[in-house]
């Protein structure tokens, strides 16, 4: 299996650190708002990665954090804590806000068939571990304290920009535009390990005692503490969106590698953005779409999952309602295609499709091309029914599109259609093929009045019972 590693900028054969197992860490959501479909794209990608590794025979352990403290409105430590700001706005407690949005996130994930990682850990449940890690960084000379906070000294890190390729000087220039709210910070890009409940954070609602006074952890330290606690260091694969490369993941690497003197993760994988009108979808910009918005417009959640799979995770996913509509139709057609009974006299096995499918996925999770193989198989009239279904079942273990479940539902629906309706539909199809459109349309109308819709497809038609009839 080959995976693209952001760290080496190459596609490489995946070799686990421990034979037969794969240990993964995914940066979880910041729970101050509903996840938008861009965030969800990121978790569909991590889910496909987990499922593909399992399909390849690895025993997968995946850990994910929930950021419920310390992520400020700017990734570069300025502004307010996102959860605290939302709590003030909604006049709720910070705990209620983070619990509410974390629950909403997991409901979205369930509807998208995104498996819950083996372990999900809230940042606020590991503050003690984070404090210990900061103490270790002090001991090793990587941390310093000011009146407002404790910082990581990035100038002590020779390979600070190895993930992004950005030099320390470039980072300094980039950070110049940021609002530096602490005059005692040594380098503008030094990042907070701990914020004191002082100055601009003096009223911070979430706070814990620490050797540096009452306060709360910075954003990055939670991922370093949680990953080493539950996966050890190094572990195999770390995932997240590309926006995490320059700051969050760079800082995770800096602090974890400084503390333990060994690499944090072997492979770093990043999904590209979901974009709308060429701009990154983003929670802070307000104009974003949630899964609930899509459902309100009548879309099946899995239509979004299908759409996400039609684009490689390292390419931008251009979202529009039209593209989601096309994905929904394609998925429905795929479900229907699978239910079609195959009656070829000399049927063949689907093994060659399975082999091709595996090759595509193990080539850095090439889901668009894996889907193409699935379609080819579903449309192949010469395939043995049983063999096709066995292939579909295996393929769906990685794609998570409910292929068997939904096609069974459709088959049940089909079998409940009265024979008289089926006969009339067949008659209409024959007339249509003979280009007797007037007559065929008339039958279609009569059937519609009786509550059955005929949908023409590439190689036939489907009869649907129309709801509310
Ligand atoms: P957040 O809740 O902001 O911490 O983000 C959760 C995950 O979504 C992170 O891995 C981000 O990198 C990712 N992400 C944020 N915006 C997008 C987007 N527009 N497209 C794809 N992934 C995104
Ligand atoms: Zn993280």
Give the Å distances, CA to CA, from 156 to 103, 142, 327: 40, 7, 49
Question: Band of the pLDDT at 469, cuts 50, 70, 90?
Answer: very low
Name the nearest CA neighbour of 265 among 3, 30, 1, 56: 3
* Averaged pLDDT, 159-165: 92
Question: Band of the pLDDT at 286, cuts 50, 70, 90?
Answer: low
Nearest-CA residue for ligand 1 atom 6 is 29
pLDDT at 37 over 90: yes
Mean pLDDT of the chain: 93
Q: How far is the CA of 227 from the centre of ligand 2 (A)?
A: 9
Q: How far is the CA of 42 from the centre of ligand 1 (A)?
A: 6
* Averaged pLDDT, 403-417: 87
> Do 378 and 336 touch, CB atoms closer than 8 A?
no
pLDDT at 83 over 70: yes
DSSP per residue over 213-259, as a string? Answer: -SEEE-TTHHHHHHHHHHH-SSEEEEEEEGGGIIIIIHHHHHHHHHH
Greater pLDDT, 139 or 422: 139
pLDDT at 178 over 70: no
How high is the pLDDT of residue 121?
98
What pLDDT, in 10s, does the model give residues 415-467? 888 999 999 999 998 999 899 999 999 999 999 999 999 887 655 677 888 86
Say if residue 303 is preceded by a cis peptide, omega within 30 of 0: no
pLDDT at 161 over 60: yes
* Averaged pLDDT, 87-104: 95
Greater pLDDT, 126 or 277: 126
Pocket of ligand 1 (CB under 6 A): 27, 29-30, 38-39, 41-42, 67, 240-241, 243-244, 271, 273-274, 280-283
CA distance 351 to 227: 39
User: Which ligand is nearest the CA of 36, by number?
Assistant: 1
Nearest-CA residue for ligand 1 atom 17 is 38
Which DSSP helix (H) or strand (E) runs through 50? helix 37-55
pLDDT at 201 over 80: yes
Mutate to test the pocket of ligand 1, among 42, 238, 239, 272 (most ligand atoms within 8 A of CB): 42
CA distance 191 to 149: 10
How high is the pLDDT of residue 344?
62
Q: How far is the CA of 306 from the centre of ligand 2 (A)?
A: 26
Instruction: Average the pLDDT over each of 25-34, 49-58, 331-340 and give the range with the smallest value.
Output: 331-340
> Do 161 and 171 touch, CB atoms closer than 8 A?
yes
Beta bridge partners of 279: 276
Q: Is 375 left (phi over 0), alpha (psi -120 to 50) or beta?
A: alpha
CB atoms within 10 A of CB 391: 24
Which DSSP helix (H) or strand (E) runs through 108? helix 94-111
User: Which ligand is nearest the CA of 71, by number?
Assistant: 1
* Averaged pLDDT, 258-265: 97
Q: How far is the CA of 241 from the centre of ligand 1 (A)?
A: 5
How high is the pLDDT of residue 459?
59
**What's CA 158's distance to the chain center, in Å?**
32
> Do 143 and 242 touch, CB atoms closer than 8 A?
no
Of how many residues is the chain composed?
Answer: 469
* Averaged pLDDT, 62-76: 91
Give the Å distances, CA to CA, from 56 to 266, 331, 362, 389, 458: 18, 25, 8, 20, 34
Q: How far is the CA of 238 from the centre of ligand 2 (A)?
A: 9
Mutate to test the pocket of ligand 1, among 37, 241, 246, 286 (most ligand atoms within 8 A of CB): 241
CA distance 393 to 111: 19
Tell me whether strands 235-241 and 265-271 are parallel, antiparallel or unpaired. parallel
Return the exposure string of 153-177: e unless at least 16 CB atoms fall within 10 Å of the residue's CB, then b: bbebbeebbebbebeeeebeeebee
Nearest-CA residue for ligand 1 atom 9 is 241
| C-alpha count within 13 angstroms, C-beta hemisphere, residue 208 | 17
Q: How far is the CA of 223 from the centre of ligand 2 (A)?
A: 5
CA angle 247, 251, 255 (to 5 degrees): 175
341 contact partners, CB below 8 Å, separation of at least 6 = 385
Name the nearest CA neighbour of 149 among 134, 139, 160, 136: 134
* Averaged pLDDT, 337-358: 85
Question: Band of the pLDDT at 181, cuts 50, 70, 90?
Answer: confident
What pLDDT, in 10s, does the model give residues 322-341? 999 999 999 998 998 888 76
* Averaged pLDDT, 302-322: 97
The percent of residues in the chain predicted with pLDDT above 70, rounded, is 96
CB atoms within 10 A of CB 441: 13
């Amino acid at each position: 299996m080959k995976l693209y590693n952001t760290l080496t900028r190459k596609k490489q054969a995946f070799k686990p650190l421990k034979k037969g197992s794969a240990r993964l860490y995914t940066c979880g959501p910041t729970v101050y708002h509903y996840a938008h479909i861009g965030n969800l794209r990121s978790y569909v990608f991590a889910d496909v990665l987990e499922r593909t590794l399992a399909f390849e025979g690895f025993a997968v352990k995946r850990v994910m954090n929930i950021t419920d403290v310390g992520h400020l409105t700017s990734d570069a430590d300025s502004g307010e804590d996102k959860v605290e700001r939302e709590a003030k706005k909604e006049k709720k407690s910070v705990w209620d806000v983070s619990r509410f949005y974390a629950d909403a996130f997991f409901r979205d994930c369930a509807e998208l068939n995104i498996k819950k990682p083996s372990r999900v850990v809230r940042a606020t449940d590991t503050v003690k571990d984070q404090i210990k890690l900061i103490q270790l960084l002090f001991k090793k000379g990587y941390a310093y304290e000011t009146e407002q906070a404790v910082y990581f000294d990035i100038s002590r890190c020779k390979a600070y920009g190895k993930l992004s390729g950005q030099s320390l000087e470039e980072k300094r220039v980039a950070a110049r535009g940021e609002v530096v709210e602490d005059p005692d910070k040594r380098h503008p890009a030094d990042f907070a390990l701990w914020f004191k409940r002082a100055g601009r954070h003096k009223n911070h609602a979430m706070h814990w005692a620490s050797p540096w006074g009452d306060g709360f952890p910075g954003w990055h330290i939670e991922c370093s503490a949680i990953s080493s606690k539950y996966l050890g260091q190094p572990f195999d694969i770390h995932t997240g969106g590309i926006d995490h490369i320059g700051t969050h993941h760079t800082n995770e690497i800096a602090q974890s590698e400084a503390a333990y003197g060994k690499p944090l993760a072997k492979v770093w994988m990043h999904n590209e953005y979901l974009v709308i009108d060429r701009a990154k979808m983003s929670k802070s910009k307000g104009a974003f779409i949630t899964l609930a918005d899509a459902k309100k417009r009548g879309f099946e959640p899995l239509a979004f999952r299908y759409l996400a799979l039609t684009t490689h995770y390292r390419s931008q996913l251009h979202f529009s309602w039209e593209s989601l509509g096309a994905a929904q139709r394609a998925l429905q057609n795929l479900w229907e295609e699978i239910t079609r009974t195959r009656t070829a006299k000399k049927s063949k096995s689907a093994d060659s499709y399975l082999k091709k499918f595996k090759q595509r996925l193990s080539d850095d999770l090439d889901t668009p091309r894996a889907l193409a193989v699935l379609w080819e198989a579903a449309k192949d009239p010469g395939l043995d029914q049983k063999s096709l279904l066995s292939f579909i079942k295996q393929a769906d273990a990685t794609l998570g599109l409910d292929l068997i479940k939904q096609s069974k539902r459709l088959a049940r629906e089909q079998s409940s259609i009265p024979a008289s309706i089926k006969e009339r539909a067949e008659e209409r199809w024959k007339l249509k093929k003979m280009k007797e459109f007037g007559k065929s349309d008339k039958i279609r109308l009569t059937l519609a009045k009786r509550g059955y819709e005929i949908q023409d497809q590439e190689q036939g038609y489907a009869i649907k019972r129309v709801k509310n009839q």
